[in-house]
Amino acid sequence: MKQSVIIGFLGKTQDRFCEYHAPKSTYEKLQTVQKIKGFDGVEMVFPHETSTPEEISAMMRELQLNWAAINVNVKKDPQFVPGSLSRPVRQIREEAVAMIKRAKDFAKAVGAPLVTCCPLSDGYDMLFQVDYQASWKYLIETIGEAADYLPEVPLFLEPKYSEVRVHCHLDSTSKALLLLKEIGNKNTGITLDLGHSIQSQENPAQMLVTTIESGFDVYIHTNDNDTKADWDLIGGSRHFLNYVELLFWAKEYGYNKYFTTDASPRVYDIVDFFERHAEISMGIWNLVNTLDTAKYRRLMREENFNELTALVTREIYRV
């Protein structure tokens, strides 16, 4: 299991009420990754944490870190705060597409395997606020154009139900998958964030399978929450069995990308918080590797829920 982290969470973070931890430069964040036992991968936000490909590559080499992904942020700049890829203003949509293209150029230059995009500002707060017909059409156009550019760097979309809009357009894995189907570019995928998926009342393991069986790739973000909001807690701290089941199916499909931690330490010590996340994640991965998956699959085919439940009790919960 390869584990990485979205390095934005290693510096200062904030919510509506509080600020947490001190600001760090990109170099200091990368030094922190190196300190976390179990992590050697990096997801970096473009363009807000990046400089030149040469400078960033030198830092990554010096600290012996590896790329999980480039995360292109099309919501932070002032013109994108009310939305970007789905907006009726052509110039704003074009600027957002151009930013994704530049993120792909950067990913190629530094050797990162993929670009992931979570268009959180594209959505709405009130009913009768946006034209659903136009916004869906624009999402197909803009993300389709960004996907077509530099096909050797695949584009992954990360859906989420809520925040920063009350209702994001890509509010579930299914909705994002439908968009990818409409776009029809095989060099695309879903960034399946466990916490986003359960907030959308999905089963993450089933959405992993559904996405792959629909012909699209998957990149996994790990965390946990209470399903009401995206709290970015330590993995397994509330939905242990969901985490086990997701890793069970990831193993079945031979998932070989990074498992990237999308969790927020807030009031907790940063290194301790991520080490606890790395530890439970590796523990679950090791556990999954002890399971006789062929036996589980056979029992599923036989609809033997009684034996499956007994196996889960004995082999997973171990009670």
Taking 3-state DSSP, the helix, strand and coil percentages for the chain, each rounded to the nearest 5, stand at: 45, 15, 40
d(CA 104, CA 305): 46
Q: What H or E segment, with its residue span, contains residue 315?
A: none
Residues 129-168 that bind Mn ion (CB under 5 A): none
Q: Is the CB of 64 or the CB of 201 nearer to Mn ion?
A: 201
Q: Which is nearer to Mn ion, 4 or 26 (CB)?
A: 4
Shortest distance, CB of residue 301 to Mn ion, whole angstroms?
33
CB of 90 to Mn ion, least distance (A): 29
Pick 92 or 191: Cβ nearer Mn ion: 191
**Does 24 contact Mn ion by CB under 5 A?**
no
Residue closer to Mn ion, measured from CB, 138 or 219: 219
Q: Report if residue 221 touches Mn ion, rule: CB under 5 A.
A: yes
Q: What dihedral angle (degrees, nearest 10) is formed by the CA atoms of 86, 212, 280, 304?
A: 130
Question: Shortest approach of Mn ion to residue 220 CB, angstroms?
Answer: 9
Q: Which stretch binds Mn ion (CB under 5 A): 44-52, 104-112, 127-135, 191-199?
A: 191-199
SS3 sequence of 109-178 = HHCCCCEEECCCCCEECCCCCCCHHHHHHHHHHHHHHHHHCCCCCCEEECCCCCCCCCEECCCCHHHHHH
Question: Smallest distance, Å, CB 118 to Mn ion?
Answer: 6
Does 224 participate in binding Mn ion (rule CB under 5 A)?
Answer: no
Residue 193 interacts with Mn ion (CB under 5 A)? yes
In the complex, the smallest distance separating the C-beta of residue 167 from Mn ion, rounded to whole angstroms, is 18
Name the residue nearer to Mn ion (CB basis): 245 or 262.
262
- What is the pattern of x (binds Mn ion, CB under 5 A) and - over residues 255-294? -------x--------------------------------
CA end-to-end span of the chain: 26
Inter-residue contact 223 to 233 (CB < 8 Å): yes
Of the pair 2, 95, the CB lying nearest Mn ion is at 2
For residue 222, list its beta bridge partners.
Answer: 261
Between CA 266 and CA 153 the distance in angstroms is: 33
Q: Is 68 left (phi over 0), alpha (psi -120 to 50) or beta?
A: alpha
The residues binding Mn ion (CB under 5 A) are 193, 221, 262
